[in-house]
Structure 1
Amino acid sequence: MPFDRVKGDVFPFEITKDSLKFSGNLSRKSLNLVKCKGQISGVLPHICDRCGDDMEILVNESVDLLLSDGACKTENLDVMEFFGSIIIDEILHSEVESLKAGYFYCKNCENL
């Protein structure tokens, strides 16, 4: 989806990948910045960080980002830079990888 398709109005989106749903709105903030406000929900397969057993993480995460068309010179860490288009799949992938970077324990290991 190109940046120029996002006008000042709210531009709704929704994608589903595996068992996760990412939905929300995009809105233009300036010539090179678009606001992404949304929600990621569903179930994420994971491996227990203690015992290695398969488990699932229930996901219900808010997403509130600025998206930049090109390099962005700001101190704000919640900016994703794109070159030529907004890739909603890429935002979802990035948020899921950030989530998976945490430590998660299965029910058997939670109280050890």
Structure 2
Amino acid sequence: MKNIGMLIRPITKTFFKQSNPEQPSTKIKFNIATWYIYDNSLICVTTCDPAKQRIYKIQGQLYLNIFPGFLYLLHPLADFSANIHQAIKMIFTHIRNIWCSGDWNVTEYIIK
């Protein structure tokens, strides 16, 4: 809490909100540090997974997916020629056998 107080300056802004034209406006004070620490205390774990949504929940834990999106649009594998299939197969085989010592879990992690 002490470190957060140093990072987020306790700036208070005053706003006037008028819900009804016949009633006087109400004065609202907004403090960003108070809002961040007490009012909006959601804790998200950051991940990077292209298959997940931007924000998702697993067993009560919120996750924030920081994956920015692919540079190019994805196309079905059937759209590519046999030469491309062979080249990709060679690259993935190299990754699995050389980089990951044949471990499929590590290979899947690298490919993702």
**Bucket of the pairwise TM-score, normalised by the shorter protein:** under 0.3
Which structure has more strand as a fraction of its residues? Answer: 1
Q: Which has the larger radius of gyration?
A: 2
**Higher RCO structure, 1 or 2 (CA under 8 Å, sep 6+):** 1
TM-score, scaled to structure 2: 0.27
TM-score, scaled to structure 1: 0.27
Which structure has more helix as a fraction of its residues? Answer: 2
